Amino acid sequence: MTDDAPPRFLVSPHPDLVTLLIALFAVLVAASAIGYALERRLSPDGNNAVIENLNDRIRSWWVMVIAMAIALVAGKAGVVVLFALCSFAALREFVTLTSTRRGDHWALAGAFFIVLPAQYWLVYADWYGLYSIFIPVYAFLTMPIVAALRGDTENYLVRISEVQWALMITVFCASHVPALLTLQIPGYEGRNLLLIAFLVLVVQSSDVLQYVWGKLAGRTRIAPKLSPSKTVEGFVGGALSATALGAALSWMTPFTPFQAALLSLVIVLMGFFGGLVMSAIKRDRGVKDWGHMIAGHGGFIDRLDSVVFAAPIFFHLVRYGWSTV
């Protein structure tokens, strides 16, 4: 480094990223103002559950957006660390609902302290040939061996399958979000952080918009046994609105508006079905939320369920459609 070269930590983030973050904070300020006004008018004593839940969600979004903003500004290392921590918390939530026994402790320790950090290190190192198969091949074959060596065969198949599924959802799928930073897209150099922002914004906005449309016009339940609050009207309104948002955000991607709309529709659909799958697991276990860490939202998986189902599909569509590697 020459004397004239700026230190790495002083390098400014991409102007498009700065614009996006400013817009997000402006939306949160507006949402907070609306929530405050509604609380003063409709729930001065905190007795309106809908208003209180809305404000809890807004406050949680402040925390999540700030955390994401810090990670995005910090660059590749920040994003990898953030999602590794989220995966750790989500894996912990998932495991608490499984049928694990003492005989699974070694396998679980390996999942938390070997497989998870190794997967994210491979992503950081841009070792696609290994991080794309590390969990579904090597971890999935090794963990049953480790558990079998403990000699506890009661519900063995169920126990090991639950842990494998937990790893697949909370670690393997989630790691495809920071993996977007490894793609080499001609003419898009130095802007891959915006791909992550695009993915998260479209999927999470779809969840929010489906909630809003469901409250405004929801009549027909789409999956009453899985998620009673989801309606056909909410799903259609939210999906179309999020698809339109994705098209409007094409300026921050290497896609044309039409391509951005198609990709948005795909990840919105995957996010919706991901939410249904995770709701089915919760109903099977007799719980409403995966956890209680995020006020108004539940646990980490409750916020990540849509993203983790959408992320691998989005990653591979972009990799094979736009990337040179």
pLDDT in tens, 145-175: 999 998 889 999 999 999 999 999 999 999 9
The yes-or-no verdict on residue 45 having pLDDT over 50 is yes
The yes-or-no verdict on residue 1 having pLDDT over 60 is no
User: What pLDDT is attached to residue 104?
Assistant: 87
What is the Cα–Cα distance from 275 to 281, expressed in whole angstroms? 10
User: What pLDDT is attached to residue 49?
Assistant: 74
Residue range 222-237: mean pLDDT, rounded: 86
User: What pLDDT is attached to residue 214?
Assistant: 87
Dihedral angle sign, alpha carbons of residues 294, 194, 311, 77? negative
Nearest to 175 by CA among 226, 215, 118, 227: 118
The yes-or-no verdict on residue 260 having pLDDT over 60 is yes
Give the type of residue at 84.
Answer: A
Confidence of residue 8 (pLDDT cuts 50, 70, 90): very low
User: What pLDDT is attached to residue 35?
Assistant: 83
User: What pLDDT is attached to residue 15?
Assistant: 81
**Which two structure tokens, joined as six digits, stand for 201?**
């914004």
pLDDT one-digit tens code per residue, 287-308? 766 655 554 445 778 778 889 9
Check residues 8 and 96 and name the one with the higher pLDDT: 96
What is the Cα–Cα distance from 87 to 303, expressed in whole angstroms? 12
Query: Mean pLDDT score of the chain, rounded to an integer?
Result: 87
Give the type of residue at 313.
Answer: I
The backbone region for 13, taken as left when phi is positive above 0, alpha when psi lies in -120 to 50, beta otherwise, is beta
User: What pLDDT is attached to residue 184?
Assistant: 94
Question: Would you give the DSSP letter of residue 135?
Answer: I
Dihedral angle sign, alpha carbons of residues 37, 40, 41, 45? positive
Q: How far is CA 211 from CA 109, 235, 293, in A?
A: 37, 8, 20
User: What pLDDT is attached to residue 9?
Assistant: 41
Check residues 18 and 194 and name the one with the higher pLDDT: 194
User: For the whole model, what pTM was predicted?
Assistant: 0.86
User: What pLDDT is attached to residue 226?
Assistant: 81
Asked if 165 and 309 count as a contact pair (C-beta separation under 8 A), the reply is no
User: What pLDDT is attached to residue 199?
Assistant: 94
